[in-house]
Structures are given as structure tokens and as C-alpha cells.
Amino acid sequence: MRRGSTATTIAALALAATAAPAMAADTVGSPGAGDPFFPLAGNGGIDVTNYSLDLAYQPASHQLSGTATLQIHATQDLSRFDLDLRGFDVGTVTVNGVEASVARDGQELMITPSHAVRTGDAFTVVVPYAGQPQTVIDPDGSSEGWVYTSDGAAVVGEPQGSPAWYPANDTPRDKATFTVSMTVPSGLTAVGNGSLQSQTTVNGVTTFTWRESYPMAPYLATITLGRFDVTTGTTPSGIPTYIAVDPRQASSASAVLRKLPAMVSFLENLYGSYPFETVGAIVDDAPQLGYSLETQTKPVFDDAPDEVTLLHELSHMWFGDAVTLGSWPDIWLHEGFATWSEWIWTEQQGGKSAAQRFKQLANTPAQQTSFWNPPPGDPGDAQHLFDGTIYQRGAMTLEALRERIGDAQFTDLLRTWYAENRYGTVTTADFVALAERVSGQDLRQFFDEWLYQPGKPSSLLDGSAATTPVG
Ligand code: ARG
Ligand code: ZN
């Protein structure tokens, strides 16, 4: 419904635009970046290079207010372009310091600069905004965006929550650097991505300024706030750590959090050097959230994580945050990899091996269709984006591949995948192509069966081993 009415409005505005001189319809930036599951997420014609968010939050009144300054590179001539923003009152928007006209339609913030922007131009957009941030309810029923907690908010954006707190080009294909400054009542801590630039208290309020200087997909930004105990340190390889724990979770979280530096070392040895400047964790007390998210450099946890959950989110720094899907149906490239990372960590800790785990899961009867469907490479719709198969059968796909091409080539594949793609975006087809290149094998049928065919993979049906070559 929302999609239909938006499309109609966009079409009407595009028609109106053609009537004005020097405003051909094809210079209106598209309202979406073309994702099959989230057609209005992201926008056409713009490439954001830096977000600078200067914000303040009042937990008592739920008021968020401030200014977003976006540095943008135009990838087409633009008489008009959109950003994504959910809710808020928007003040006077400027483009290169000159007032622009603004219209709203759902999550589209449509900006018409007084002078059209040309392909290749770098320009600055300033958006002042204020209001109560929204919690976004996803097609799978989970909460994201600004998730209210008893002492602040857990702020998470996968896959579509970021516009609940800042104007974004909300597509994973448009990574950018971020500076986020957040002012909160003293006693509260605002935890963001990257490194803490400054923390100053004046007149009962504290301003935290965070800088993420590595490219970050908009959905991975956070500014989670509340009461936190903070500890800092460094990993064995010298990465500074910042760990914020809600005091209510402190005693149950401490033993697992002590393993964080060792987990980072483990993942560095396995996949290659840590991709970012800092690492850490935000352990909140957020039953309203109910899951964890790999927010860049500092994953957010809804409560004290168990060991494999911490490992899972940290592994996403390599696969998810550094090497990122370009469209949401490819989500197994994040969740399958993070789940396989859990298995291999457990194996190296002396627990069940990844091969044993695979074998056990492979015994799941074909009749248990909810275990096997949807196939991990084709979730079907946004409601099934985070289904169990994306994680379990996604990880099984990797373990089956490992057994098919051998451990040495499999390790080489994952390391090359990371080295060649970090800070960029990828597709499943890219991964299949690299697997074939590294192994020298034709793996089309293997991946088709594991990733795209519903039901239990036929190579497992007659009890034949996963190592049996297909075809
Ligand atoms: N990526 C998260 C993980 O590590 C899950 C996010 C779930 N989000 C959602 N909207 N259902 O597993
Ligand atoms: Zn995950």
C-alpha cells in the first residue's frame, strides 16, 4: 500500500518537474536504490562520503534533536534527490549553504536544491531535525531503529532502522565515514562506532563525540545510550578496545567479555587482520530488542552474551561489516559466515568440531521442512531474512564446501574473499566465482543445490557423504 501511493506521488512530482526548465524528469534521483526486499531504502544519484551528526537526546521526553551534515558526491545530474528519514520535524534544509525546498512522503525526504547539482559535483546538505525517534517494526516482527530501554535506547539499524535516527542514504552499497556527536544528561553514556574523540561535561550534560574513519554501511551505525560501565584496553595485536556494559548485566557478562581480545586474535589468524581501528562491545539491558547486532567496531547485545554470540558478532566485523552484501537477499554471506565462525571457534576450543556439527545437522529429516527452508541464498521475502536456515544451512553450505575443496583451499578462499573485498560490497555470484577460481572446480551445481534449491540437498538424501562430488 505504502509502496503504491509513494510511487504515484513520485510519478506526479516527476511530471511536475518536467514542466520547469532545466529540470528534466531523468534528473530526479530515484527514491530507492533497487533492493528487491526494501525498494525505497537508499536513493538514486547520490554517494554520501561523510555523515556528521550533531545530536542531543532527552530520555525523559524522548526528544532527539540536532543537525545532520552530509557530504555527497553526485553520480548523476540532480534537479532533486532523496534521503531516507522516518518521522521528525525537519527545519530549513540547505544545499551548499542555500535553502532548498523539501517534501516528505513516507521515509522519503525529497530535497530540491535551488541550483541543480551536476554529475560529479561534491555538495553539502544540512538537515536540522527534531522529534521522538521511532521504533521500526520489521517484516519478521522484530524491533529496530530507536529501541527504547529503561535508561535510554538501543540503537540498531539492520536492515532498515537507521532512518529512525538520522537522514541516510540507507543502502549497504553506499558506505561512508561518520562523526557522531551526542549530548545526553550527565550520568548517561552515548556509545558510537569507531573511536571516542572527546567527552566533555558542561552544565549537567555530557557530549560524546565518536568518529568512524573506515567506510561504514548506514545500517551499522549506532549511538546506543544509557547507564554503562566502561572499560578500555588493547587486543594482543594492538587494537584499542572500548567495552560498555549496563551495570545490571555486568556480573553475567564479565567472564565472556574477558575473552574478547582472544577472539579478535583468533579471527585475525583465521581470516586476516582486523579491518577497523577499534573494537569492543555494548552490552545493554534491552529485552525490548531481543537480539544482537554487529554495529561496526562495537556490536550491541540485548543482554550478557554467551561465548558463541560474542564470537558471532565479532566475526561479522570481517563478514558483514568489512565485506558487505550489496542487496539483502544475499544475507547468508553474513549470517552463514558468522555461524560457521562459531563452529570453528568451538572446534578450536576443544568442543564439537565443525564436521561433527555438520553431520548432526545433515541428519535432520527432509520432512522437517522448516529446518531446510527457505534455502539460504533465496529467503524469498523480507519476512524470512533472518530465518534459521540463513544461519544454519548457510553455515552448512560453507562446511560442505570445506569438505568438498579441502581445508587448505577453503581457508585460502575465505582469506582471499576478505582481502579482495574488504570495505566494499559483494554478491553471492562473486563468492561462487571466487570459490571456483581458488579451487579450480566447477561448483555451480554444488552452490545451486545448497543455496537455491528448497528442501534437503539431494546429495544428503541417500546418506551419501557431503564430500561426494556432485554431478
Ligand atoms: N545480524 C544480526 C545477527 O547477528 C541479526 C539482526 C536481526 N535483525 C532483524 N531485524 N531481525 O544475527
Ligand atoms: Zn549474525
- 179-213 confidence digits (pLDDT tens): 999 999 999 999 999 999 999 999 999 999 999 99
Decide: 144 in ligand 1 pocket, CB within 6 A.
yes
Going by the DSSP 8-state scheme, the letter that residue 191 receives in this structure is: E
Question: Domain span at residue 252?
Answer: 244-322
Mean pLDDT across the stretch 283-306?
A: 98
Residue 43 has pLDDT above 70, yes or no: yes
Mean pLDDT across the stretch 370-399?
A: 98
Decide: 138 in ligand 1 pocket, CB within 6 A.
yes
Residue 79 has pLDDT above 50, yes or no: yes
Atom of ligand 1 nearest to the CA of 316: 4
Measured in Å, residue 328 CA sits from the centre of ligand 1 at: 12
Selection from 213, 185, 180, 186 nearest residue 198 by Cα: 180
**Is residue 215 located within the same domain as residue 94?**
yes
What rounded mean pLDDT belongs to the chain?
Answer: 94
> Is 176 inside a domain boundary?
yes
**Is residue 386 located within the same domain as residue 334?**
yes
Ligand nearest to the CA of 382: 1
**Is residue 127 located within the same domain as residue 58?**
yes
**Is residue 349 located within the same domain as residue 375?**
yes
The pLDDT tens digits of the residues spanning 154-172 come to 999 999 999 999 999 999 9
Domain CATH code at residue 268: 3.30.2010
**Is residue 329 located within the same domain as residue 444?**
yes
> Is 94 inside a domain boundary?
yes
Atom of ligand 1 nearest to the CA of 312: 4
**Is residue 283 located within the same domain as residue 201?**
no
Q: Which residue from 293, 296, 301, 331 has its CB within 8 A of the most atoms of ligand 1, so it is best to mutate?
A: 293
- What pTM was estimated for this model as a whole? 0.93
The pLDDT tens digits of the residues spanning 110-166 come to 999 999 999 999 999 999 999 999 999 999 999 999 999 999 999 999 999 999 999
| Domain-ending residue, one of 300, 322, 344 | 322
Ligand nearest to the CA of 143: 1
> Is 334 inside a domain boundary?
yes
b or e along 27-56 (b: 16 or more beta carbons within 10 Å of the residue's beta carbon)? bbbbbbbebebbebbbbbbbebeebbbbbb
Domain CATH code at residue 408: 1.10.390.10
The pLDDT tens digits of the residues spanning 208-243 come to 999 999 999 999 999 999 999 999 999 999 999 999
Measured in Å, residue 166 CA sits from the centre of ligand 1 at: 20
**Is residue 78 located within the same domain as residue 195?**
yes
Measured in Å, residue 312 CA sits from the centre of ligand 2 at: 6
Q: How many whole angstroms from its chain centre is CA 232?
A: 24
Residue 381 has pLDDT above 50, yes or no: yes
- The model's confidence at residue 60, banded by pLDDT at 50, 70 and 90, is very high
Residue 13 has pLDDT above 80, yes or no: no
Decide: 109 in ligand 1 pocket, CB within 6 A.
no
Residue whose CA lies nearest to ligand 1 atom number 6: 293
Measured in Å, residue 270 CA sits from the centre of ligand 1 at: 23
Mean pLDDT across the stretch 175-179?
A: 99
Decide: 333 in ligand 1 pocket, CB within 6 A.
no
Radius of gyration of the chain (CA): 23
385-391: Cβ within 8 A, 24+ apart = 385/37, 385/139, 385/140, 385/159, 385/328, 385/331, 386/140, 386/142, 386/331, 386/335, 390/331, 390/332, 390/335, 390/336, 391/335, 391/336, 391/338, 391/339
Residue 24: its pLDDT value, please? 55
Distance, in Å, from the CA atom of 431 to the CA atom of 322, rounded to the nearest integer, reads 15
Residue 461: its pLDDT value, please? 87
CB 116 within 8 A of CB 76: no
**Is residue 27 located within the same domain as residue 131?**
yes
Residue whose CA lies nearest to ligand 1 atom number 3: 293
CB 37 within 8 A of CB 23: no
Measured in Å, residue 333 CA sits from the centre of ligand 2 at: 10
Domain CATH code at residue 52: 2.60.40.1730
Decide: 386 in ligand 1 pocket, CB within 6 A.
yes
Mean pLDDT across the stretch 90-103?
A: 98
Give the total number of structural domains in the chain: 3
| Domain-ending residue, one of 201, 227, 253 | 227
Atom of ligand 1 nearest to the CA of 159: 10
Give the dihedral sign, CA 102/105/109/114: negative
Decide: 142 in ligand 1 pocket, CB within 6 A.
yes
Residue 463: its pLDDT value, please? 53
> Is 234 inside a domain boundary?
no
Residue 370: burial class (beta carbons within 10 Å; 0-12, 13-18, 19+): exposed
Selection from 375, 401, 389, 396 nearest residue 453 by Cα: 375
Atom of ligand 1 nearest to the CA of 338: 4
Decide: 325 in ligand 1 pocket, CB within 6 A.
no
**Is residue 345 located within the same domain as residue 316?**
no
> Is 61 inside a domain boundary?
yes
Measured in Å, residue 24 CA sits from the centre of ligand 2 at: 43
Distance, in Å, from the CA atom of 68 to the CA atom of 71, rounded to the nearest integer, reads 10
